[in-house]
A = this chain, B = another copy of it.
């Protein structure tokens, strides 16, 4: 496959138009004061299915031929990509199958089924997940859409940063969370074209710092055991994602669990919006002062807002 470029983001933008929301860009005086900066938040928590993942999923489904569409799509995920692909497929009348580990939270399984996908449980191991997915691809001819290591998905994710720049104007410093790397690499494709001089920084939980070590060593880390509240960032950095990140990203910062929670609370309390821990990872460096942003124009991609609210609303 040819290298991904800005042109792919342009193509994605045409394909997702009218299907994905153009989400709001918000500012917050309290965060500006804390960071001493002008911060613009791209609110992908307001995106359909509650996260940026919908952009990549819609683009991937739109790239399929009619014949491929008739055989359906499949993925493995228990999180935001599952819901995103389920709805993206549904909107185009495409059958979606999602392989989910048996021990996934029932609430996530129900959300995916709610968007019309068929959920196939498997044992909670990487081997079982791959085996089950491969068997279903064999049986049904469905197209596999990887959550992040897929050029169509990456190009779709790049559209969020593009919209952010359109709204916010010049940006000196752009922050995005990094887990599998789909959002960060897509953001990089957009940023390198639109903001050639800007610093682009990936933000990762210290408890899942494979992208950090991959970036610093130049060699992709594939074996690690994540331990973080940021459930969207527990995945391993993808191959294609890493190739782009290595070539384009300025730096990767690690964020402690305490900083993640404290940033999440700050955003809920002061911006009055619900973001998930993975989003807070890209806000935390501005609040815990691990990043010097004084006087700069900063863009932050708030990746999603899917949080289990039982703890708050349960009778107690």
Q: In the complex, which residue of chain B has the Cβ closest to the Cβ of A274?
A: B272
- Chain A, residues 12-28, CB within 8 Å of chain B (1/0): the string is 00000000000010000
Chain B residues with CB under 8 A of A316: 311
- Chain A, residues 260-272, CB within 8 Å of chain B (1/0): the string is 0100110011011
Chain B residues with CB under 8 A of A268: 274, 309, 312
A285 contacts B by Cβ under 8 Å: no
Chain B residues with CB under 8 A of A311: 311-312, 316
Chain B residues with CB under 8 A of A305: 272
Chain B nearest CB from A79 CB (Å) reads 16
In the docked arrangement, what's the CA distance between A83 and B103, Å? 46
Known: A24-B24, A309-B265, A316-B311. A272 touches B272 (CB 8 A): no
In the docked arrangement, what's the CA distance between A264 and B265, Å? 18
Interface residues in A, total, Cβ within 8 A:
21
Chain B residues with CB under 8 A of A274: 268-269, 272-274
A9-66: which have CB < 8 Å to B?
Answer: 24, 43, 45-46, 50
Chain B nearest CB from A165 CB (Å) reads 20
Chain B nearest CB from A112 CB (Å) reads 15
CB pair A50–B265 under 8 Å, yes or no, is no
Chain B residues with CB under 8 A of A46: 271-272
7 closest A-B pairs (Cβ-Cβ)?
A272-B305, A312-B312, A272-B274, A45-B272, A265-B313, A268-B274, A273-B273
Give A residues with C-beta under 8 Å from B: 24, 43, 45-46, 50, 261, 264-265, 268-269, 271-275, 305, 309, 311-313, 316
| CB-defined A-B contacts under 8 Å, sample of 14 | A24-B24, A50-B272, A261-B313, A264-B313, A265-B309, A268-B309, A272-B273, A272-B274, A272-B305, A274-B274, A309-B312, A311-B312, A311-B316, A312-B312
